[in-house]
């Protein structure tokens, strides 16, 4: 019955009437979610599709939620571009009693706050700023929100699967906003100490519908002799994540090695490996844990090239502490490679099991 309900939901999303709308493919339309969920994954170079096993799995691969055996709550804060862009994430996973399934809700927000709106601060008649100009300057925020409702189930002892229903909202202060939706699906397969995974993000293609509030632009046309921008609906094509992992146990140490390959179909041509319209983003990571108490992590991500075909990578580092039912993780990246000019990325996350 649950599977039938999920299939009906998928059909409802896929069958929504959009034929009367025109859409433009957005190459980076889903990149506000690329920061991900949890500092553990960042420390491992975002190689996480096969090894994820807690509430953060809703992002990395919803099939991993089947490893959650009690209520799991997580929160993460991250800052990028020297603190200009803030990113917050919170999630809760709940195992359904007397079943082999788990549900979860995740919320993401990325934003730039306290931006000055000076549209009303210019006196067109005097062609000068207004007197008491500060009284005419307002502040607004640019934000991206995502809500993910997840369901995961164990199919066999070795195989699990999960799906996400994802709703996003972009808000450009009082000027424009967009709503979008899509579905994700993922699988995990375990063969002894080997782990394999596939995760399709935006499986149904994300459709985003923009609305522009022209009244918020005031005298924009007269002041700047330009037309008020109009909204353009967008679609975000699917991304296929393939993952593999291996777990080693050596005395009191557990070592987890993982690798992911993200395959995109947007003709980005911004990454080291390209084939036609497809681009391939590799991720590699390793984690060493002592007595399930303290972890050290390292990885490689963001393999890119510049116009001169020079290759750049972004190494990552991380650590984690586990106290009873509390998990504290820290991740650090962008300290070398092409991305380093954009500032360092620090990520701290807290997870609690009940």
In a domain? residue 324: yes
For tokens 């007269």, name the residue: 222
Return the C-alpha torsion angle 17, 20, 24, 25, nearest 10: 30
Pull the structure tokens for residue 156: 């066999």
Whether residue 228 lies inside any domain: the answer is yes
> Is residue 162 in some structural domain?
yes
Residue 271 lies in a domain: yes
25 lies in some domain: no
Name the residue among 288, 219, 208, 245 with its Cα closest to residue 49. 245
What stretches of 270-344 adopt beta strand conformation (E)?
273-275, 278-290, 294-305, 311-323, 326-333
Residue 31 lies in a domain: no
How far is CA 300 from each of CA 109, 118, 334, rounded to the nearest angstrom? 25, 42, 10
Q: How far apart are CA 198 and CA 201, in angstroms?
A: 10
Full-model pTM:
0.80
**DSSP secondary structure letter of residue 35:** T
- Residue 348 belongs to domain spanning: 37-353
Within a domain: 157: yes
Tens of pLDDT along the chain (354 residues) come to 444 444 444 444 444 444 445 767 766 677 778 878 989 998 999 999 999 999 999 999 999 999 999 999 999 987 766 667 788 899 999 999 888 899 999 999 988 877 766 666 666 666 666 767 676 677 777 888 999 999 999 999 999 999 999 999 988 877 888 899 999 999 999 999 999 999 999 999 888 888 887 666 666 555 556 666 666 788 888 999 999 999 999 988 999 999 999 998 877 766 557 777 888 889 999 999 998 899 999 999 887 776 676 777 888 999 999 988 899 999 887 644 444 445 567 788 999 998
Sign of the dihedral through C-alpha 247, 250, 254, 256: negative
Burial of 80 per CB tally in 10 Å (0-12, 13-18, 19+):
buried
3-class secondary structure, 311: strand
Give domain status of residue 1, yes or no: no
Q: Looking at residue 233, which CATH number applies to its domain?
A: 2.40.160.60
Domains of the chain: total: 1
């Amino acid at each position: 019955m649950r599977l039938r309900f999920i299939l009906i939901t998928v059909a409802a999303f896929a069958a929504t009437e959009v034929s009367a709308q025109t859409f433009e493919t957005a190459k980076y339309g889903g990149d506000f979610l690329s920061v991900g969920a949890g500092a553990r994954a960042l420390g491992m170079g975002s190689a996480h599709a096969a090894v994820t096993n807690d509430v953060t799995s809703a992002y990395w691969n919803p099939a991993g939620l089947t490893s959650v055996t009690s209520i799991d709550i997580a929160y993460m804060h991250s800052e990028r571009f020297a603190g200009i862009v803030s990113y917050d994430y919170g999630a809760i996973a709940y195992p359904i009693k007397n079943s082999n399934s788990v549900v979860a809700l995740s919320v993401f927000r990325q934003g730039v706050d306290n931006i000055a709106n000076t549209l009303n601060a210019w006196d067109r008649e005097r062609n000068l700023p207004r007197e008491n100009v500060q009284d005419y300057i307002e502040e607004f925020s640019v934000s991206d929100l995502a809500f993910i409702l997840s369901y995961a189930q164990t199919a066999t002892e070795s195989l699990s699967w999960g799906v996400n229903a994802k709703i996003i909202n972009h808000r450009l202060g009082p000027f424009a906003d967009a709503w979008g939706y899509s579905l994700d699906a993922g699988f995990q397969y375990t063969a002894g100490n080997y782990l394999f995974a596939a995760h399709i993000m935006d499986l149904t293609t994300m459709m985003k519908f923009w609305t522009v509030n022209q009244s918020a632009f005031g005298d924009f046309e007269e002041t700047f002799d330009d037309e008020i921008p109009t909204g353009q609906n967008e679609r975000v094509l699917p991304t296929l994540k393939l993952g593999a992992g291996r777990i080693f146990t050596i005395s009191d140490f557990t070592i987890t090695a993982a690798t992911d390959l993200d395959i995109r179909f947007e003709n980005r041509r911004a990454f080291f490996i390209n084939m036609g319209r497809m681009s391939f983003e590799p991720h590699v990571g390793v984690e060493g844990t002592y007595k399930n108490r303290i972890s050290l992590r390292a990885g490689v991500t963001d393999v890119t090239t510049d116009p001169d075909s020079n290759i750049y990578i972004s190494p990552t580092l991380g650590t984690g502490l586990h106290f009873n039912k509390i998990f504290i993780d820290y991740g650090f990246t962008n300290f070398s490679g092409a991305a380093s000019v954009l500032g360092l990325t620090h990520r701290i996350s807290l997870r609690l099991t009940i």
